[in-house]
Every structure is written in C-alpha cells, then in structure tokens.
Amino acid sequence: MSYVDEVYDRVVKQNPGEAEFHQAVKEVLDSLRLVIDANEEKYRKMGLLERVVEPERIISFRVPWVDDQGNVQVNKGYRVQFNSAIGPYKGGLRLHPSVNQGILKFLGFEQVFKNSLTGLPIGGGKGGSNFDPKGKSDREVMAFCQSFMTELSKYIGADQDVPAGDIGVGAREIGFLYGQYKRLTGLYEGVLTGKGLNYGGSLVRTQATGYGLVYILDEMLKHNGKDLKGKSVVISGSGNVAIYAAEKAEQLGAVVVALSDSSGYIYDKDGINLDLVKEIKEVRRGRIKEYTDVVKTAVFTEGKGIWTIPCDIALPCATQNELDLEDAKTLKKNGCFAVAEGANMPSTREATDFFLDNEMYFMPGKAANAGGVATSALEMSQNSQRLSWTFEEVDEKLHQIMVNIYQKAADAAERYGVKGNYVAGANIAGFEKVVDAMMAQGIV
C-alpha cells in the first residue's frame, strides 16, 4: 500500500465519524501523490504525513451562559491548533449549530496549507462553537462571547494563536471577544483579527476575502485569455464573503444576478442591488427574501437550487459541500466556464473532479479565499508596529498577494505536469513550505 493510502486509512480509523475531516485529508493527500511518492523514504523516516494530519493540540471546553429568560444554556467550545511550523496558529472562529470537532479539524487542516500559500508567517488553526447567533439578542451574544473567551484566553496570544471571524462571527462578535480578552489579561495586543477600525482593526479586512476571491479569479481568467467584463455571476451565500465578492465583481464589470442564504435564493436578472443587500444583511440582520419586497422584478425561490441559474461564472461562498456533482453538471450545461470557491470546500469531491475533467477553470478555496487570512496577517503586522496603513496600501498588498498565490499554484501545477490543475498546484505549493519547516525543526 502506498504511504498516502496508509496514512489516509489511519486517519479514517483514528478519527471515526469525522467525515469532513476525512474528505479534506483525502483531497489534499491525493493531489500530493506525485510529491510524496518522490520523497517517500525521507518522509516516512520522519513520520511526516502522520504528523501533518494530526493537530498539535485540540482544546475543547464548556461554554455556559444565561439567556434573556434567565435560563442557563451550555454550548461546546473548541480551538484546534493544527500546525505551527511556519508561524503562530491563525484561523477563524465559527459559530453555527453544525459545528463539531470534525468540521473544525477539516477547516484547521485546510488552513495550514492556505496560510502557507499566502507567503506570510502564519500557522494553521480553527475554532468555534455550536452556538447559533441567529435570533439571539445582542446581550445574549455578548454573554456567550464573554464566556467563550474566558476559557479560550488561556490558550491564545499575539505570538501564539490569533483567531479571527468565520461563519457567524463578524465585527460585533470580535468586539465582544476582544473586550473580554483585554479585561482578563490586561493586554492590548493583536490577539484577534477582524477588529473594529477604532481599536486596532485593518482597513480592507471586511472586504478582504471577497475582494481577494475576485482578484484571483480575474488573474486566472486573464492567464486563460478571458476577462470579467459583462460576465454573469452567481454567488451563493449573502454573508461577508459573498457580499464583497459581489462588490468587487461588479467593480470589474461583471453582473451579479443571484445570491442566497440558508432559506433560498434571489435572482435579479438586471444585476443585484448590493446597497440593498448590505442594508438587509449587515444592518437589519434579515433574510435574503426581503430583497424581493423592494425589487419587485426579482424572484425568490426557496431551497437549494441556486446553481440551476444560467451564468458564466459561479462563486460558492456559503458553506462546505453546498455544490455537488449534479450542480456541477447543471452549471456546465448552462454555459458556466469558471468556478472559484469563496467558501471552504463548498464543492464536493465529485463536483471538483467534474470541473477538472471538463476543462472548466476551477480555483479551490484554499487559494481563492486566502485573501481573508492574508489581510488578517497584515492586521497583525500593523498591530505589532502600532501603525495603520491606508485602504489603498492594504488593498494593493492584498491584490499582490492574490496574484502571487495564483502564480505559485499555477507554477507548482506545471512543475508536476498537471498544468491548469490549480487544486494540485495550491496543495503542492502550500505543502512544500510547511514540510520544509517541519523537516528542519525535527520530530516535534
């Protein structure tokens, strides 16, 4: 049995019930076969793959808080500190009822290679809770965040582990978490990113993942003789990533015709009015359906069918496994030629293989959504220097980082004889740097 298969079998046996983690490990290891086969003896001797797939540490804790009716609620809290070979652990916190250890391990594992791809000195981690912020009052969210941070604060620090936002964690939650960290430790340091601009946040961090996604999409199209002008774009989700991907796509001349949330999707053939979406989602915290109360020509459809809308480009920006093989086939049949992932692992393995086998331009999340964490690392740099860079400075750095990520993924794919396969390219390029650092640091 090959080293890759041995290690994958071991992951399945030793991590029962963690389907998303198995899926992520398989996808990464499969695309690294060429590199691993070429270095098998060296890697085996160092137990390299066994160490790569095992988090350095998982912290799991109880999060008790009191709701508005005076009842005690108890959630599960986690931080997965996956790999610190190239820098302090870095990765978001997710608050969603679906959160469990397996999902956070999948996200932490992906984060290791994504962070490496950015070229910045950050290791990989992920955390969160099965707390559902939807429908909770601000006071309840604060009570939860304070309790969560009371425990988490023992394990994080500006040079140790620097969490950020993810699903369900935006500016409000980061503010509550930061306030509690400061109160407990007495430290005013860059321990979280995504902070408000008045207390150490970076300009462009809010926009970074969505903008970065469209920067790398644009780069991929340009290298393949295409561009964004006049192209119709379907984007799933209507959260942080989706909204700013839509904004940048429109700025570059594309027409965004659909967005969604977990209830259903809106289709506006004339192009989505983003100011209205921001008002609904960022100010009112409402549902995407409310869009059709104002724009009467737009249509809301309940359920998951967003990928049936004909488009040139699809940007899945909601959650994992939201785009399956049938969706991929439908997109292709309707003329879609490019897909770039704003979310983490939104395409199933079968859908990814379909894109690659059918010569669609496909940029995986690991590369495509790295702009968020890259800008978080820029926020860390500004915090260390006690300086704030202008919007233009940060945006230019973000743009350059995304261009570099494209180049690294494209070069690595070409080097290993799979030109245009950015899945393999991104995995190889991210892996090489982490592995070099791990080999240099001995058996730790």
Residues in touch with ligand NDP (CB under 6 A):
165-168, 209, 237-242, 261-263, 317-319, 342-344, 369, 372
- Catalytic, out of 126, 195, 231, 366: 126
Gyration radius from the chain CA atoms: 21
Shorter beta-carbon distance to ligand NDP: residue 416 or 427? 427
The sheet with strand 361-363 has its strands ordered as 299-302, 264-267, 255-261, 232-236, 313-316, 338-340, 361-363
> Considering the complex, what minimum distance in angstroms separates the CB of residue 299 from ligand NDP?
18
Length of the chain: 444
- Cα-flanking dihedrals φ and ψ of residue 4, to 5°? -60, -50
Shorter beta-carbon distance to ligand NDP: residue 22 or 114? 114
> Considering the complex, what minimum distance in angstroms separates the CB of residue 104 from ligand NDP?
11
Q: Which residue is nearest to ligand NDP (CB)?
A: 239
CA 372 to CA 91: how far, in whole Å?
10
Query: Computed from CA positions of residues 60, 66, 72, 73, in that sequence, does the dihedral angle turn out positive or negative?
Result: negative
Shorter beta-carbon distance to ligand NDP: residue 35 or 375? 375
> Considering the complex, what minimum distance in angstroms separates the CB of residue 416 from ligand NDP?
26
Q: Catalytic site residue 126?
A: yes
What residues pair up with 157 in beta bridges, in sequence order?
A: 161
Shorter beta-carbon distance to ligand NDP: residue 169 or 328? 169
> Considering the complex, what minimum distance in angstroms separates the CB of residue 101 from ligand NDP?
16
- What does the DSSP assignment read for 47-103? THHHHHTS-SEEEEEEEEEE-TTS-EEEEEEEEEEEE-SSSSEEEEEEE-TT--HHH
> Considering the complex, what minimum distance in angstroms separates the CB of residue 366 from ligand NDP?
10
CA 328 to CA 51: how far, in whole Å?
34
Shorter beta-carbon distance to ligand NDP: residue 48 or 164? 164
Q: Which of 321, 319, 306 is nearest to 351 (CA)?
A: 321
**Residues known to be catalytic:** 126
